[in-house]
Structure 1
Amino acid sequence: MMKALVCVEPGRFERTDRPRPQPQPGHIRIRIGHVGICGTDYHIYGGQQPFLSYPRVMGHELSGRALDASADGRIAVGDLVVINPYLTCGHCHACTIGKPNCCENIGVLGVHRDGGMCEEVLVPEQNAYKAEGLDERAAAMVEFLAIGAHGVSRARLRPGSSVLVVGAGPIGLAAAIFAGIDGAGVTLRDSSASRLQLAAGVLPQARLELVGEEAAQAYDTVFDATGSIHAMNAGLGWLAHGGTYVLLSVVKGDLSFADPEFHKRETTLLASRNALKADFEHVMDCIRRGLVPIERLATHETGFDEAVTNLPLWAADRGTLIKAIIRV
């Protein structure tokens, strides 16, 4: 048996025991070392995550040590790995055109099936990436950073272009970091002064704007990372003519733009979902090169047993939190 953290039902988070996963052809068992807590996890705890069945072992931002070697020799027993939590079918249209991040039959660890808030997991070999040169805590932050990196990759930024990121939570910060790495000038906009203060510590070179203030300019590229349909509908107003609007947020509701405003800008509208292996590799390379302020992103940390108390507290008040990490 192994220890696990289970959200039994909304508002009920417990430490329990589960059977350890057994070896399986084409898969690797991984001893989990660290787990990043995502906004999705807080939503599962709060009962705001649709299409989810309880009880659920949460956790999809994962790093750990391989307990099995991969058949192709990429990964040896004991190697530190990052887990790609998006389990794909491999045969739908999206998978066959190289876009498994939007697989028609996707299953996400910790959401659609039990995740990594436990001692061991079993994943397909192709979902484990060797994290050479990283430590376990940094490796547990690769997945959320890859979400932002994927959105930036979709935008194809030009060096020197102007970028506005609306929403200074973890995904917005990730997008801002990788937009800066690509040579863009970055502005962060948020409705929370405390969030902007945290963002200033992560991205001291970025311009900060509080919602309600007049925007400094129109931007070549606007990223929405708010999780608010109202903000997503309003974001077009910050975009320059000829610009690109990238939606990192996924929410219920309908997008509604004034067609004349959309057309006169000849707007490019992009959705960005999950991340690809190339995004994970890019993030790990940037961390190794010292381009990602990992220490400033990891604001909170907890032990495994203490997480039963701490996760509910953080779910109720994330005002001083960027990324919390569980040590398994």
Structure 2
Amino acid sequence: MQTVTLQTPGQFKYHQSDPDLTLHPGEALVRVHRIGVCGTDLHAYRGRQPFFTYPRILGHELGVEVVALAEASTTVQIGDRCSVEPYLNCGHCSACRRGKTNCCVNLQVLGVHTDGGMREYITLPTHKLHPSATLSYEQLALVETLAIGAHAVERAGLTPDDTVLVIGAGPIGLSVIQFVQLAGVPLVVTDREESRLGFCRSQMGVTHTLPANEELATRLPDYLNGDLPTVVIDATGNPASMLQAFEYLANGGKLVYVGLFQGDVTFHDPMFHRKEVTLLASRNALPATFTAIIRAMEARQIDTTPWITHRSSLARLTDDFPGWLEPGSGVVKAIIEV
């Protein structure tokens, strides 16, 4: 089968490999049709991804077809089109027992801790497959991206009285924006790149956008009835941005980090206490989030069509991928067709 392996930072290898057709109880063999490329893949290529070892088959945003089952299943059938929940949790640690499977102590994420879906076939637990009778493989491949943003908004626990600043309008930021919009609360989006802000305005209907510069803190109240936002969600994974985010938050507000970097986050403790900030991390997503997103997409409440700006195949990926990292490439979301 066609396979792409990231051998070392900056070096992909396209090759043929033998699929493992062995199925254990509770498993399914799936045919990969579409793969979304995300920030994790870009960081791994650059050698900047935490919790990562080489060589590794990347790919965790997957739209797949069920081609074989180890046994009869009540949740999926042969021929089903599915999105993949790529977080392989142990089921017995403290986090799993409390329903927090997204941050399992022994978590193995496809394409990060264990080999992912940049290949034609992969074996997965059936309970990690989320089927849809109407969505395309392309739509299903974007469910996981949406789930990251949805979980961040879930962590924020928005109420009708909240106002939100989203920092960073890359793919994860876009997914956060999507669910803030569905919550119906006032929203401001900021980014360093005007092209991304323009995308938010033209393709996502965001009314209020601001450049991420030294004037941001003073301009925010102009868009939020004179106040700072009660919720700030940082989707940049940029240390300078993440440290600065405290300054934008209203007293008594919540700061959610959905982006991450390899380093320490520090803050001025008197300011932190004066504002009584609630600081939250957001990691991955929960099974129910995948189900809810698929239903919303089926109901046409979410349209990801404008997001897809670049396409490739497994055979062309080694040539196309480096260009997606170049400044000015215009990549919002790249899809690999298998």
TM bin (shorter chain): over 0.9
Q: Does residue 1:20 correspond to 2:19, yes or no?
A: yes
**C-alpha contact (below 8 Å) 1:224/1:247 kept by paired residues:** yes
2:289 corresponds to 1:285:
no
2:80 is matched with 79
Cα distance change, pair 50–236 in 1 and its aligned pair in 2 (3 A): closer
Q: Distance in 1 between matches of 2:329 and 2:220?
A: 26
CA RMSD of aligned residues (A): 1.5
Counterpart AA for 2:11: R
5 Å matches for 1:1-328? 2-22=1-21, 23-69=23-69, 71-159=72-160, 161-212=162-213, 213-214=215-216, 215-217=219-221, 218-317=228-327, 319-328=329-338
With over 3 angstroms needed to count, the CA separation of the structure-2 counterparts of 1:263 and 1:193, relative to structure 1, is same
Distance 2:203 2:289 in 1: 20
Shift of 1:18: 1.3
CA contact (8 A) 2:75 2:126 kept: no
Q: 1:318 to 1:120 in 2, by over 3 A?
A: farther
Structure 2 alignment gaps of length 5 or more:
222-227
CA contact (8 A) 1:57 1:116 kept: yes
Q: Deviation at 1:116?
A: 0.3
**1:242-294 deviation digits (Å, cap 9, x = unpaired):** 21111101212222222222222222211110000111112112212222231
**Residues 62, 116 of structure 1: 8 Å contact kept:** yes
1:80-105 superposed Cα distances (whole Å, 9 cap, x missing partner): 01111111111110000000100011
Q: Distance in 2 between matches of 1:191 and 1:46?
A: 21
Overall identity of the aligned pairs, in %? 38
Letter in 2 for 1:30: V
Is the contact made by 1:63 and 1:80 (CA closer than 8 Å) also made in structure 2? yes
Q: Could you tell me whether the CA contact under 8 Å between 1:162 and 1:186 is conserved in 2?
A: yes
Structure 1's 65 and 303: CA in aligned 2 closer, same or farther, altered over 3 A?
A: same
Query: 1-side partners of 2:199 and 2:20: how far apart?
Result: 39
What is the rounded CA distance, in whole Å, between the counterparts of 1:278 and 1:99 in structure 2?
11
Deviation at residue 298 of structure 1 after TM alignment = 1.2
Equivalent AA in structure 2 for residue 292 of structure 1? I
Q: CA deviation digits over 1:278-313, x for unaligned, max 9?
A: 111121122122222311111111223122211121
**Alpha-carbon offset, residue 160 of structure 1:** 5.3
TM-score (normalised: structure 2): 0.93
Deviates more, 1:139-148 or 1:37-46: 37-46
CA contact (8 A) 1:145 1:283 kept: yes
Q: In 2, Cα distance between the equivalents of 1:302 and 1:61?
A: 15
Residue 132 of structure 1 deviates from its aligned partner by 2.8
- Give the Cα separation in 1 of the matches to 2:299 and 2:126: 26
